[in-house]
Each structure stands twice: as C-alpha cells, then as structure tokens.
Structure 1
Amino acid sequence: MRYVLIFVLGVLLSSCQSQTEDRQSSLDLLDELILEMERQGEVMSMAMDTLAHIYEMRINNRDSLLSHSDPNRYVFDGPFSINQRMEDTIFSSLIILTTTPDLKKAQEEVVMTNFLDEEFRKFYSKNKLVTQIYSNSSNQVSRVFPSYDAKNIVDPTIDVTQFNFFYEADRIHNPSKGLVWIPDAYIDPAGKGWILSLVHPIYEKDSLFAVLGVDFTVDDIINAYLEKYDGQYLLVNRKGDIVAGKSGAIEAISMPPLKNHVYRETVRSVNFRVSDFNLFNSKSEEVRTMAKDFLMNNKDEFFFKKENSLIKAYCRPFQSIDWFLIEIVPKY
C-alpha cells in the first residue's frame, strides 16, 4: 500500500510539474511574439518621429517652401489630383476636400507640402509592413502615398478631422504632441479594408497644421506575425474587440460565421462589424468569462469546463499599447 501511495504521489507531482512547464512555455512564447511586434513598433515609431520632425521644420519655413516648390507638379480635376498612377510612381494622391474652409489656402498648402512625396517614398520603401503613409491637414488637404484611385473610392465631402486617425492626435486627445497608436481597427476611407494606424501631430508654430500617419492592414499583421506560429492566436484590445486573429481561433470561441471561412476575407468585407467580433459578445458564456478574467482581472490562464472543443487559454498584455495576445488551446 505504501508503495502504491508513493507511486500515485509521484505521478501527481510529475503531472503538476508538466502542467507548470506547459503553462510557462506558452506564456514565454506569447511574450516572445509580443516582443517581436513591439520591437517592430519601436522601429516604426522612431522613423515616424524623425519624419514628423522634418515635416514640422519645413512647414515652419513657409516662404522658403513656396519659393522652391513646383506649383505645377499636380493637376486637379475638381477635388482630386489626376497625375498618372503607376507602381513605381513618385506621386501621391491628393484631395482638396470640399469641406475645406479656405480653398485658396488649401491650394497653396498643396504646393508647400510637395516635398513630402520624396519623404513618403523613402519611408514607404524602408518599412515593408506599411500599407500607406499620409498627411491629413486641418484645412482638409489629404496626401496619401502610394497613389491610389481616390476619385472612385473617397467621398470628397468628408471631414477628415472627424476620423480617429486625425482627432486622436489633436491637442485635446494628445496634449504631449507625440506619437499615438490607435488601438482600435477601423475601416479605411481609402479602401484598404480594416486597418490600424500610428499617427503624429504636425504643428505650425502653435496651431495643429496636420496629422501625419501610417497604416497597417489587419491582413498584414496576421500574415507577418500570427501565421508564423502553429498555435491559435487572437490579438484583442482592452474592450475585447478582435484586432487580428487566426481563423481557427475565431471559430473556436463561438464568433459569427466567417466569410469564406477565412478571417482575412471577413475583415476585408464592408459588412464586417467590430462589435460582432468582440469576446464579450461571444455566444459562449465561458468565453465571456475568459475575456473578463484576462482583460479586466489581469489573469494569464483560463481553463474551459463546459466547452467540449476547448481545453484552456493563455494571455499576455502588451507594454506599449493596450492590447492583449491570447492563445486558444483546442482539443484535437
């Protein structure tokens, strides 16, 4: 009997040790993946900060810019520039939105900021995950690189200052005047689908002149990071919205049916709603409990008891942005 007890105790201790090792291994992998993404974010932030400094320095020398810039570089058809668009173009797409309060001043701004084309081209060529780089001004001038079919995509009557990629950088939301990560995915007015943005305000003396921004598509984040690992991963924000995720993980936690069974295709759809893909809106009570434990109670492990297809989940927070990386462990 004594030997049986010793054997059972040994098995239990071995099992506990194995579970502890599995837990730590999973958390370490999450930390590794987060660190990889945050390092890329730091590189991007430094590059953006440098470009913002160049932008501010140049526009605060307005007279010099106007005297050295080609006033005929861009040709317009109504609100839209119509310069030829090619893959290797050195041109941006420009829109002087009809919401501009001063058309003459906006036209002058186009000439004054032509130097951005070369700066945008250099930045874009060095940062492979960036899908587009742009400047949106307080005077409703939008410059986007690479160029795209703006005339058939963008409503020229929009007010860019009402979009989060602009107002999140203004003085009220960003009094420090530094870089801002926009943690919530949103639909891009330029037709790129669901994207995330890093923005930086540009001040002319003490007035907000424009907001400089770069975009990353949700699709690219999935391809560049989450698809490299075998596990089922979700990237979520503090509110529980799924910023990015592998299809297997989405399906496992009782989210709505996926378009063509692929999350990347779903987020490209104009019918995609972030609220549908929120952990707190899952049909599963346990998934909702998991979300509360991870996002509100700062726990890093959750065991499923009622879900027949799921075993457990792990979670780690980001340091630089209010996101969380979750691994869903299904039963195979």
Structure 2
Amino acid sequence: MKMRTSRFVRLLLALLLIALISFSVTGVVAYHHLVTTAAVAEQASREIAGLAIADGTAVLSAEQKAALDSLTANAATYLNAQLARIQADTLYLADYATYLYNHPHTLTGYAYPDRYGIGATGNFIGLGGAEHSWLIALDTRLQPDGQLDERLLQEIYLTEYMDVALMSVGRRNPYAGQAYLNTASQLSRGMRFVAGQPVDVNPDRDFHLGDDLTSFEFYYLADAAHNPDRQPVWTGVYWDPAGMGWMVSCAAPVYRDRDELVGVVGIDVTLERLSEEIRSLRVKHTGFAFLVSQSGQLIASSEVGARFLGFAGSLEGDFQAGESLGFYLTRSSDQAVRDVAERMRRGERGLVTYTPPDGGPQYFWAFQPVPLTAWSLAVVVPGQEVLALESVVHAKLTQQVDAAARQMADGVAQLRRTYLLVVAVTLVCVVVVAIWLARSISNPLTVVTRAAQSLAQGNYDQPVRSAWQDEVGTLAGTLEHMRLAVRARQAALQASEARFREMAELLPDVIYELDADLRLTYVNQAAYRLFGYEPEDDPLSLPLAEIFTPESLTAIVVVAEALKSGRAAGAVSLLARRKDGSLLPCEATAAAIRDAEGNVIGFRGVLRDVTERTRMEEISTAQRDLGLALSAARTRDDVFRLCVESALRISQMDAGGAYRRDEKDGAFVLTYQVGLSDEFQRILGWMPSDTPQAGMLLAGKPVFIHCDDLHRIINYTPAEPGRALAVLPVRHEEEVIAGL
C-alpha cells in the first residue's frame, strides 16, 4: 500500500533536510573561525569576567544592604500592625465604658454579678475568681453604719458590665497581658490573661497601687491636660504596680457628659511579650533587633542587643510601683550610638555603619519608625555576615572564569575530533526517525482528529472507529464512549426541556428565570401578552431597572438576598412598567436555582397580574369610606360633595359634578363641581326638563354622550372641549332627585 503523507509531514521533512545541510556547511566554516579566535576569546573573556566580578560584587553588596533595610521595614510594619490592634481594642474598651457611665439608667443589673468583701489590707476587693474581673477599691468610704458608700457601691455594680468587653479583648488579642479600667473614684477593675484565657488574681495580695491611681503614668497621660484630643496614648516602660513586671500600656480616657473624666481604660503589653517578638526576628547568624521609644528609652531587646548597647542593669529584682526603665540610648557614653538614637527618636529611617569605640568589627545598623507609637525598630548585623556572600561569590566567579578558560581549550580540541562524526550520525538518525514518525503518527492522528472535529461540530451520529491497539486507539475509544453518552444525554435533555417549555407556555401567568446577577434568561408567552411586547421584541435584553420601579427593584433584591442565604421568601407585591410605559401592579413568587454544590446560580418564579384584585380592593375601600362619610353628612350639598369626590378618586377622571333636580320645574341644576371649566358651567350648568339628557335621567337611565355629539345638540363648540360626558341618575324612594 502506498504511504500517504500530509503536507505538514512533507514540510517537516524538507525543513529538517535544509537545516541539516545548513548545519553541516556553517559548522565547517565556524570550526575554522573558532580555532583561529580561541586565543583571543580566552583573553577577552578573562578581562570581561574581571570587570563583571567587580561590578557584580558591588551590586551584591548593595542588594544585601537593601535586603537588610527591607527586613527592618517589614518587621516595623508588622509590629505597627500588632500595636494597632492593641490601640483599636483600647478604643473599644473606652467606647464601652463611656456608654456605661453615660447610660446607667438603661442597665438593670449585670447577669453574672461578683462577690465582694474587705481584704486583709483593708481594701474593698472582688472575691469571684478567674470567671470575674478583679476589683480593688482604694477609697472604701465607709458610712457610719459600716456600709460602703452607696454611690461608690453603685459604680462598682456598674463596672461589672466591663467583664464582657475585657474578656473579648483578652481572647482575641494575644498581645493583651492585662486589660483594665481605673476610675477617678479610686476603683481598679481588670482581667489578666495567659494564652488568651483569664487567670485568677488576688488584688489584695498582688497589687501595690498606693493611695492614688491618678498619680500613675498609665492614668495621667490620658487625662485632659496631657491628652486634649482624647485619643489612645502609649506609656514608656514602667514597673507594673499590679505585679506583672516591666510593661508598656495603651490607655484611653473615659468621659461622662463630655467634660467629666471618670476614668481611664488600658491594655498592658509586657516587656517580655515585646521582647519575644523582637527575639523572634532572626537576622543572619548573630544579628539582633531592639525597640526604642520616642524619648530614646530602650523598650525591648535580646540579651545580645542589651550588651551591644551597653545596658549593664538587670530587669529582675524589686522595683517601685510605676518606676520607669532607666536605660536611654540618648544617654549612651558612645557618641555614635547617641547620634543614631537621636535619628531614631526623630522618626527617621536609614542604614548606617557603626564601629564600636574599642575598634571591634564593623556593624550595619538599620532602623525604621513604628508610626503608631512613634517608636523605632532597629536591626544590627555584623558587617562580615552581610558581606560574606559577596566574598564567596567573588571567589566562585574567579574559579568559574579559570574553569571556563580550560573548558574552552578542551572544547576546541574535542570539536576537532568529533565534529565530522556527529554531523554524519545526526543526518542518518534524523532522516530515519522523521520518516518513521511520519508513518506511525500522521495516519492515526488524522483519523482521530477528523472524528474529534465531527464531534465538536455537533455530529454525534457518526461513530468513531479505530483499529489501533495503542494510545491513539485508546483515545479513539474514549471519543466513541463520549459520543454515545453525549447523544443520550442530549436526547433526554431536549425531551425534558421541550416538556417544560410546553407547560410554561400554556400557563396564564408569567413564568420567568433570572441568573445570579438578576438578568432575565427566560420568560413564557404570557409575559409578552401581559407587558405588551410583540414576538419580534426581545424583553430578555432589558435590565430589571427598566421593567420595575425603583421601589420594586429594591424589593426584588431583598428577596434574592434572602433566597441566597437560605431563608424563605413569600410573595412580594411589585409595580412593573408595560412597553407603553403604563404601570402594572403584580405579585411575584420566586425560588432559588442551585448547582450541584448548593450554590445559587439563578432564580425561577411566577409573576401574576393583580390589577383587577387591586382595583376591587380600592373600590371596596372607597365604598366603605363613602358609606361612613355619608352617615355623618348633615346636608344634601355635603352628600353631593362626598359622592363627587369619591367617584373621581375611584374613576381617576379629570373633573365631575352633581346636578340637583329642581322640584318646581324638574330641571337639573349643577350644584357642586370639581375641575369643570367656567365655560362648561355656563353652558351645561342647567339642563331643562325638556332636554334629551334630562329626559333620560328622569326615566332613570344613565346619560353617556361623546362631546362631539353634545356640541351638535347644544349647537355650540367650547374653546376647551372634553372627550365625553357621563351622568348617572340618583334615586331616593323610587324618584330621581339628582344626577352625578
């Protein structure tokens, strides 16, 4: 059988042949040039490599310094974010306490009250344990009968509500070591946390608060004199009088009636917690980080950092309550340290080199501000660690240049021996492989490709046949299985869809479908009839905003959100616009369409015209109101007025009036009118009993006449003619007494 190859295969073979011939010719020429230029290339390579090494090491050094600066900036940003959480929780406590003090009348008593008593030191304290906040009252203010001052006692009960907010802060913020409320009345209430859980605190044993809470930095920094803007403020490092050691606090004031400072709320962050964060920052091998306040006070550091900065003191021992940590970089004996500390205190950022006074190794010192607290984070790394990679890279580049020169010489010699052999073998192999591949791949793939194209065009009736027992045969079998499955599913889907469409088109109500974005995807023929569209119109392209009023569109969105969240949604009344612009009252119900995973992908429902029902409800309401009004009417003129106004409201006509029958001559006289022109009243305000209109009314028949016919009867055409005139007889005891 003659082998048939496609144009693609023949072109591939031609290109391979041309490429091989070109490769052979150019290879021979290049070989001679390579031999003659090898010596020049080696020398040039050494010179260029030397320049590249110098430039590369300089760039690498700059990159290492930039990486150190970026590491410091990222660490400062992360720390700022954590402190922002503390500050946000402090504001939350302040808002919570402010509400308690300004709205005590709204509270009826905390659901889980604490127990209280007098401690061993004579202070009034809470006795509830870890499930309640601790409380200590430094000013017990006992009354002559031995009872606690009633006003102070009520404030104690009021602050019990702080337990909810304190517990919330401790559980969600791992930095919060302690959260508290200190009041101007010398009450201190708070919670201490370990791993986000409250722990039992004995304030009578652990606290050393003295006689005045307002004398501590964590209180007076938030008062009106130090904090007129009433924003959260940060303290320096101090020894906690509540027994938690060295810490910093974020404090915020609590005001009553806008001007009375009743207390201060705050969150304590221990120095140990900040130091853990600083120690976790790993920089090279022996690098370290430390944190400095705006005043130059050392806030947190590792032991290595403390020794580097010259801090010879200890954080362990006995300290006075509220005592500040006394180590400031701005007081260092080293002028270089003081200079950098001054830049850090001013909130600058940068990277400097530092050499200790004793002439030790050089260090790189990077610093970045922590904007929220005006602190500054510094990272210090020995210079040789930063530049170690530069030295290693320089040595490796030099070795690689030497190795490349040797390889170049060896390569030229090897090329001389193997070039011709490689060309010959390559030519033979490529030709043989190309021919074999063309035969074994092109024919089966052509068959499978044509079958796949047929399926892609929607032809599922042509079977996919294959006689190959390899991967191509497996692919052909898979395509055949897919063809049969798709054809069966397509037939079932078409039958189901046809039944649904037929049933939907037979319904008198509108059947609709929307996608998840509330765009119409289907309506039945009832929608065309109800909204006045022709078959050639395309209502599916209209957005809902053009079909429904804004209020109705809002109601549709509410129903859709309820269905998306899984809630039930009943029928909703809507006001739609027909094609001619008229409004149509309707009622819609909807259900969510969900995919296999339960996600809402659209909505389906029914919309019903309720115009007639609405109209009947309006008429029924008007009849009821008219009946009630007529029962209270005192005169016949009041009756006429009420009837005219009710008729106009129901019929939505422009004008109307009431004719009273004159008992003497039987004529009908216009007694009351609304919206009738002066010309109408002059011409038709009196209808004698011998006119056709009066005769029909006296016979108990309604009068309805087009205005063109009326003008011919009265032989007059007014300047502002109407459309039609309708008059209904009004009977009383079988006698016509008026016309409406």
**TM-score category by the smaller chain?**
0.7 to 0.9
C-alpha contact 1:254 1:284 (8 A) present in aligned 2:
no
Match of residue 132 from structure 2: 91
Counterpart code for 2:217? N
2:318 matched to 1:270? Answer: yes
2:328 matched to 1:242? Answer: no
Structural mapping, 1:101-112, within 5 Å: 104=149, 105-112=151-158
2:125 matched to 1:81? Answer: yes
Q: Would the alpha carbon gap of residues 312 and 16 (structure 1) be closer, same or farther in structure 2, given more than 3 Å must change? A: same
Where 2:98 maps in the other structure, the secondary structure is helix
Counterpart code for 2:339? T
Output one character per residue of 1:75-132: Cα deviation in whole Å (capped at 9) or x when no partner.
12131415153xxx22111111139799723222111111111221122111121111
Report the more deviating stretch, 215-224 or 15-24.
15-24
Where 1:267 maps in the other structure, the secondary structure is coil
Distance 1:30 1:267 in 2: 26
Distance 2:170 2:182 in 1: 17
C-alpha contact 2:296 2:328 (8 A) present in aligned 1:
yes
From 298, 318, 321, give the equivalent of 2:370: 318
Q: Would the alpha carbon gap of residues 226 and 208 (structure 1) be closer, same or farther in structure 2, given more than 3 Å must change? A: same
Name the count of aligned residue pairs.
Answer: 317
2:242 matched to 1:194? Answer: no
More helix by share: 2
Match of residue 68 from structure 2: 26
**TM-score, with structure 2 as normaliser:** 0.40
Structural mapping, 1:41-56, within 5 Å: 41-56=83-98
2:153 matched to 1:153? Answer: no
Match of residue 328 from structure 1: 380
Distance 1:304 1:179 in 2: 36
Output one character per residue of 1:162-206: Cα deviation in whole Å (capped at 9) or x when no partner.
111111111121112222222x11111001111111111111112
Structural mapping, 1:94-173, within 5 Å: 94-98=135-139, 104=149, 105-146=151-192, 147-155=200-208, 157-173=210-226
Q: Would the alpha carbon gap of residues 156 and 178 (structure 1) be closer, same or farther in structure 2, given more than 3 Å must change? A: closer
Distance 1:329 1:149 in 2: 44
Where 1:139 maps in the other structure, the secondary structure is coil
Structure 2: segments with no counterpart, 5+ residues: 1-43, 193-199, 386-740
2:342 matched to 1:286? Answer: no
C-alpha contact 1:101 1:139 (8 A) present in aligned 2:
no
C-alpha contact 2:135 2:188 (8 A) present in aligned 1:
yes
Structure 1: segments with no counterpart, 5+ residues: 258-265
Where 1:45 maps in the other structure, the secondary structure is helix
Output one character per residue of 1:120-146: Cα deviation in whole Å (capped at 9) or x when no partner.
112211112111100000111100213
Distance 1:36 1:223 in 2: 14
Counterpart code for 1:244? A
Shift in Å, 1:244: 0.2
From 295, 320, 325, give the equivalent of 2:345: 295
State the structure with bigger RCO (CA 8 A, min sep 6), 1 or 2: 1
Q: Which one has the largest radius of gyration?
A: 2
Where 1:81 maps in the other structure, the secondary structure is strand
C-alpha contact 1:90 1:121 (8 A) present in aligned 2:
no
Output one character per residue of 1:250-275: Cα deviation in whole Å (capped at 9) or x when no partner.
11232215xxxxxxxx4343359622
How many percent of aligned residue pairs carry the same amino acid? 22
Counterpart code for 1:81? I
Shift in Å, 1:149: 2.4
Shift in Å, 1:279: 1.6
Shift in Å, 1:315: 0.9
